[in-house]
Amino acid sequence: MTKNEDFQEEIGNDHIATSAQTPMRDDAFVISDEEKIELIKKDVEHILNTLGLDLTDDSLKGTPNRVAKMFVKEIFGGLNPNKKPSSSTFDNKYKYGEMLVEKNIVVYSTCEHHLLPIIGRAHIAYISNGTVVGLSKMNRVVDYYAKRPQVQERLTIQVVQELQKVLGTDDVACVIDAKHLCVNSRGIRDIESSTVTAEFGGKFKEDKVRREFLDYIKLDTKF
């Protein structure tokens, strides 16, 4: 193995993020989703055939098409900018000036190093400077940036940056606690560990404000 291959392997095994932006080619959307599905279908067929599987078996014959559609339409659908949530906001007519926290947002993403699931929870907070967003908007932003090959650090940053842009304020924070199946099911196979990442903007860099947010996350909401 060459020195460059060793370096690339180390990045993947240590789950290192190299950019705050999703690395995309300029020609990423030259072909349609339908064309991508057909191309990926053939690639999956090639992988399964190489592994020695019999694709004439009833259980397997539809797998290449299912996987291709899942990649393009579902788990990597957030790569398509046309699926980005709308940036609509509302005036803060109640003059609510305290912190608003949306916690326990479900995160389903995919590790870009091994293409295995990342499953966890996101907690988001912001302090309005005159505008607010609907509560479900925060869930949709998380879902959009999660539906792509991802690194948890990047996902955390992207969620904060998007909400800062939408709300017109730096006062946004996000904490994500997630399990990585590339750690849990392969390699070290540690099924107990999880990864916590955080991004604090504006007032959330202040100890008192950050502590208030983290205390809210600890609340055990039961119904």
* C-alpha to C-alpha distance for 193 and 121, rounded to whole angstroms: 14
Q: Which residue in the list 112, 123, 150, 199 is annotated as catalytic? A: 112
Active site residue 111: yes
Active site residue 180: yes
Active site residue 21: no
Residue 105's Cα: distance from chain center in Å? 12
Closest to 36 (Cα-Cα) out of 79, 85, 3: 79
Active site residue 15: no
Q: Which residue in the list 114, 162, 174, 199 is annotated as catalytic? A: 114
Q: Which residue in the list 15, 45, 102, 113 is annotated as catalytic? A: 113
Active site residue 182: yes
* C-alpha to C-alpha distance for 28 and 82, rounded to whole angstroms: 13
Dihedral sign computed on CA atoms, order 26, 32, 33, 38: negative
Q: Which residue in the list 111, 150, 174, 199 is annotated as catalytic? A: 111
Active site residue 123: no
* C-alpha to C-alpha distance for 180 and 183, rounded to whole angstroms: 5
Q: Which residue in the list 15, 174, 182, 199 is annotated as catalytic? A: 182
Active site residue 152: yes
Q: Which residue in the list 152, 162, 174, 199 is annotated as catalytic? A: 152
* C-alpha to C-alpha distance for 49 and 162, rounded to whole angstroms: 42
* C-alpha to C-alpha distance for 62 and 55, rounded to whole angstroms: 8
In angstroms, the first-to-last Cα distance of the chain is 55
Catalytic annotation, residues: 111-114, 152, 180, 182
